[in-house]
Amino acid sequence: MALAFDEYGRPFIILREQESKSRLRGIDAQKANISAGVAVSRILRTSLGPKGMDKMLQSPDGDITITNDGATILEQMDVDNQIGKLMVELSRSQDYEIGDGTTGVVVLAGALLEQAEKLLERGIHPIRVAEGFEISSKMAVDHLEKISHKFDFSATNIEPLVQTCMTTLSSKIVNRCKRSLAEIAVKGVMAVADLERKDVNLDLIKVEGKVGGKLEDTELVYGIIVDKDMSHPQMPKQIEDAKIAILTCPFEPPKPKTKHKVDIDTVEKFQTLRKQEQQYFDDMVQQCKDVGATLVICQWGFDDEANHLLMHRNLPAVRWVGGVELELIAIATGGRIVPRFQELTTEKLGKAGLVREKAFGTTKDRMLYIEHCANSKAVTVFIRGGNKMMIEETKRSIHDALCVARNLIRNNSIVYGGGAAEISCSIAVEAAADKYPGVEQYAIRAFADALDSVPMALAENSGLQPIETVSAVKAQQIKENNHCCGIDCNDTGTNDMREQNVFETLIGKQQQILLATQVVKMILKIDDVISPTEY
């Protein structure tokens, strides 16, 4: 307790609560950490699978987000607990590396923590539990490699890729249009993919959205869409065989860098100044015309006089185009970004078969389409939807589908979804537990039980009896030696995920198991929680 004074000299007492707080150590610290991680995991558990529920998140300034994307939910949740923050990081790392499976990785980590708590209560040392989990994760990853299938596809046969992207989209809000959106995602990835190097640069795929229209109006544009319009309403709205000057220099007279003062005390002086400015504009416009440009795209703005002159000289222009968009336009049209008018040459112009301005609905919304580009290594997915939340969720869903297609191009191995891969790994890990004579075998069996939590959550979210359903599928896998049997979430009448066309990428599933195990090991090894004010 201490005495202090406010700004008016009035005394008040400070009670130091820290002294009455006890520090968490040993098994208490581990249990507290586990319960924090499990609490975060349980929030996401109901969002797993095609019948998973969505979460509505409200930001401090009142913005609403509706999503069932694990990374987005955790990103926007206000998590104070340090272990909770580890789970957020876990989801984020899965999103950065793979792009899909962000909910599954947190659900698996939560299940491992639940199993670990039971083992700790039985007196098994956390290090032995962590070692058992590490052994199990290696077994599960190796088993996934054995049960995986190579997926054959080519530039002409993209159906396998579409089927895998449909699996990803089936758990999203946009699942009623999953076929068309999966095709858009795959065609977009194939347009920018380097199949020889097995590499995809997702930065070349721009995802734009505009409120209005319906989800079915979403389209793939082989070119760039810019959320701008022509700078003057009387400029042409459509230009064929456009030669585009891409400028990062403004259409205006140069401003002296030092402080300057101009005294204009006669009409003649003002006329001279005005003529000089006009001459400057004329020279700029003429330089663009001389090199053969039929459209100018400028990063900066230009004033009304410059705009008027451009219109009179029949040189359409677009102003205030962002730097990222300029780069994509340059890549797509094969042009060069020009920082000074003096450097503008014919070779630096970009070429596009068609540049058109498109208006939407009854509003004044207009966008510029740059299509049939000389180098179509940049594409745009243009999303329409009834409201902003729908468009944002569709963008997140498309991002997941793009990542899945990219992962398949990098490594075309797949495993079957619907919990089939987890059940198969669980059976393999359980069978291998007997070979370990030490205490680790308890942890290995616990790991096998934790793997069952993913199909359990899928069954629960689909309105099925979880324990009954999972045990029936497990028995079927063992009896038929068929690792394609999973949870029939969509009630199609078959458990065979091959027939349902439910696939997941091998690298995505392996990454889930490895990341979840790493984080759980880290949490188990924390036995002392020290606050910053203690020392």
Helices marked H in 99-177 — which ranges?
A: 102-121, 126-147, 159-169
Do the Cβ atoms of 377 and 194 come closer than 8 Å? no
Helix orientation angle between 440-451 and 453-461, rounded to the nearest 10 degrees: 20
Stated length of the chain: 535
Strand partners, 247: 298, 338
**Nearest-angstrom CA–CA distance, 486 and 496:** 6
Q: Which long-range contacts (CB under 8 A, 24 or more apart) does 154-158 make?
A: 155/190, 155/195, 158/183, 158/186, 158/187, 158/190
**Nearest-angstrom CA–CA distance, 82 and 115:** 21
**Nearest-angstrom CA–CA distance, 453 and 318:** 55
**Nearest-angstrom CA–CA distance, 316 and 78:** 48
Residues that are catalytic:
69, 102-103, 400
Query: Helix (H, G, I), strand (E, B), or coil: what is residue 338?
Result: strand
Do the Cβ atoms of 92 and 74 come closer than 8 Å? yes
CA 9 to chain centre: 55
| 331 contact partners, CB below 8 Å, separation of at least 6 | 204, 375, 377, 378
Query: How many CB atoms are located within 10 Å of the residue 300 CB?
Result: 13
C-alpha pair distances (Å), 392 with each of 66, 380, 388:
9, 15, 6
| 81 contact partners, CB below 8 Å, separation of at least 6 | 36
**Nearest-angstrom CA–CA distance, 99 and 403:** 5
Q: Computed from CA positions of residues 30, 31, 34, 36, in that sequence, does the dihedral angle turn out positive or negative?
A: negative
**Nearest-angstrom CA–CA distance, 100 and 438:** 36
